[in-house]
Amino acid sequence: NRCKENDAYQCGLEGKCIRGAQVGDGVKHCPSGSDEHPEVVQAKRIRQNKGISSEPVFCEPLNVPQGVTATCSHPQLGEVDCSKAPANTEITIKCAKYFRPSSRINRINMKCSDDKSWKPFRDFSCQPECGLIHKRKSNATELIVSAANSPALFPWHGEIWRETEDGKMEII
């Protein structure tokens, strides 16, 4: 948790800090609204009732933006749900298919610590690989008319044709 205040809550990967009292107050203070996420609110209640509940306390769920994937693994439990990650869970964050990292780092790993925060905390984001098509194995047949077939990545476009009543083809 990068927040300076003892009672502060960090808004997922966004990094914004809010007062702990703002968590679960019915108002979304974090850009993602993670401060009102049911599991975050429940974890806050468990912390407030220390000693009363024997339920395990999980790391704060991270807001995973579009184009980013997160997988979590625990040494004893194996793969676990990242929104319910107990202490010692390791999270691996990387770009989803058709996205690329916004920085030079391809992936990050963090660990859920006993203080319910992910350490070492680092920001991570991805951007779309717009207009690129990847060559992949498929049963589909490419139809290329009056053009060259390039196995490399290329910006792409397409045309839509229809058959007229007299059997001729025309571009729509």
Predicted local confidence at residue 61, as pLDDT: 86
pLDDT digits (tens, 9 = 90+) for 70-80: 999 988 888 98
> Is-above-0.85 flag for pTM?
no
Give yes or no for residue 102 having a pLDDT over 70: yes
Average pLDDT score over residue span 141-157: 54
Cβ pair 72, 82 in contact under 8 A: yes
Cβ pair 33, 24 in contact under 8 A: no
pLDDT digits (tens, 9 = 90+) for 12-68: 776 788 888 888 888 998 888 888 888 788 777 766 665 444 456 688 888 888 899
Tokens of 139: 């049963």
Q: Which domains does the chain have, with CATH numbers?
A: 8-128 (2.10.70.10)
What CA–CA distances, in Å, run from 120 to 8, 90, 99, 123, 125?
17, 11, 24, 10, 16
